[in-house]
């Protein structure tokens, strides 16, 4: 199954759980793509000992999960895309939605 996940916030427990689910899904044999938008593009900056989101994000990348980030949302925050999290467009989001069998939002 193709699973699309849209993350639009930086609340540590929510982002941590979103990527925990993404990793669990990959380990069950599913393809997972994640799109960050709004505040979600800041999720790599989360610092939480109780909910270590960055640890789950790193596992997700090692598991071959793909992350896309809204270019407009990055630019509005003075950020740039990275090789791991490329600057993306609404077209990329639409492609992810169209290819997904299931879509979750966090």
Q: With helix as H, strand as E and coil as C, how does the chain read?
A: CEEEEEECCCCHHHHHHHHHHHHHHHHCCCEEEEEECHHHHHHHHCCCCCCCHHHHHHHHHHCCCEEEEEHHHHHHCCCCCCCCCCEECHHHHHHHHHHCCEEEEC
Q: What topology does CATH give the domain 2-105?
A: Hypothetical Protein Ychn; Chain: A, (3.40.1260)
Domain boundaries in the chain?
A: 2-105
What are the pLDDT digits (tens) for 19-72? 999 999 999 999 999 999 999 999 989 999 999 999 999 999 999 999 999 999
pTM attached to this predicted model: 0.94
């Amino acid at each position: 199954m193709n699973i699309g996940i849209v993350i639009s916030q930086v609340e540590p427990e929510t982002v941590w759980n979103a990527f925990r689910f993404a990793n669990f899904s990959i380990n069950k044999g599913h393809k997972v793509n994640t799109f960050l938008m709004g505040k979600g593009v800041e999720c790599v900056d989360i610092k939480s000992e109780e909910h270590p989101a960055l640890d789950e994000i790193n596992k997700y990348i090692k598991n071959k999960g793909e992350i896309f980030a809204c270019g407009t949302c990055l630019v509005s925050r003075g950020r740039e895309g990275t090789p791991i999290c490329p600057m993306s467009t609404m077209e990329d989001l639409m492609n992810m939605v169209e290819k997904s069998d299931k879509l979750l939002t966090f």
